[in-house]
Amino acid sequence: MMTRGISLGQPIRREEYRISQGKGIRHMTGTFITYTIDDSIAIITIDNPPMNPLTAELRNQLLATLDELDSKKNDIKAVILTGKGKAFMAGADIKSFPELTQEKARARLKEGKRLYLRVEEFERPIICAINGYCLGAGLELAMCCDIRIASSKAQLGQPEINVGLIPGGGGTQRLPRLVGAGIAKELIYTGKFIGAEEAARIGLVNSVVEPEKLLEEALEMARLIAGKPPLGIRAAKEAINRGLNMTLREGLELEAYHWSYLCGTEDQKEGARAFIEKRKPLFKGK
């Protein structure tokens, strides 16, 4: 099967069935990924027990899921990514490490980079609901999301140094951009885990909630974003993400481009009229 240029080998098994609660339909994308779409919000759940490691198969299934959701983007305004069980994702599949050569490692990182960039550049905002261990490749995946909400029981870290490695999926680049170089170096050099509250203090996650409130909090954030104009959200995401890799002057030019473009959209006119008329705007993504 080919999905947007991604060779997935064996055909992905797809099943649909009504979920017991809510109006959504749960879709299975392969063995380890399920997703639902309900009220313009997609929820992707990673289920690769017991610790949801990022295997090659899971990576390909997650890519395929994002491709499916991209084809349905007119029905989606926000995405939630979470894990099932006691981990969001407890890193890569370390059992495969002993057989890695330098050539195999480079090929593996190339495939991983494709997933991380796909998440980071996905047109709709992605909220990561971190339900437990979020380590190594899992933290690198979480950092590609737009917003991170953590369970109070979550543990986060980049422990690659403990097996003679450094983060290879963007950890040495995205972590300093989020928390600063000094703290990033401490976490990467020591390989230690930190709790959710500490992660919030340093800016690695946006907020912390009790485990039973995690999905509810993520849904509340997703619904808030879903009520905003889609074109404006997309422009803001691109301006922020691309601007981080530009000089200030270049970033200001990019921001001005998007601001000017939005002034010609129907949603901008509707938003201005609704403000003047003191009513709730009805955005259509046009």
Those residues whose C-beta lies under 8 Å from the C-beta of residue 55, and which sit 6 or more positions away, are 32, 48, 93, 96
Answer positive or negative: Cα dihedral of 122, 148, 231, 227: positive
Give catalytic status of residue 160 as yes or no.
yes
Tell me which of 160, 220, 255, 266 is the catalytic residue: 160
147-151 vs 193-195, strand pairing mode: unpaired
3 state DSSP class of 19: coil
Burial (CB count <10 Å: 0-12, 13-18, 19+), residue 109? middle
Active site residue: 15, 111, 140, 255, which one?
140
Q: Count the residues in the chain.
A: 286
128: helix, coil or strand? strand
Q: Which two tokens stand for residue 183?
A: 């703290």
Sign of the alpha-carbon torsion through 157, 106, 97, 113? positive
- Tokens, residue 275: 């403000």
186 is catalytic: no
Show Cβ contacts of residue 106 under 8 Å, excluding neighbours closer than 6 positions. Answer: none
Annotate 1-20 with b (16+ C-beta within 10 A) or e (fewer). Answer: eebeeeebeeebeeeeeeee
Tokens 């064996």 appear where?
10
Residue 194 CB contacts under 8 Å (≥ 6 apart), including other chains: 155, 156, 157, 187, 202, 204
Residue with tokens 């055909």: 11
By annotation, the residues acting in catalysis are 140, 160
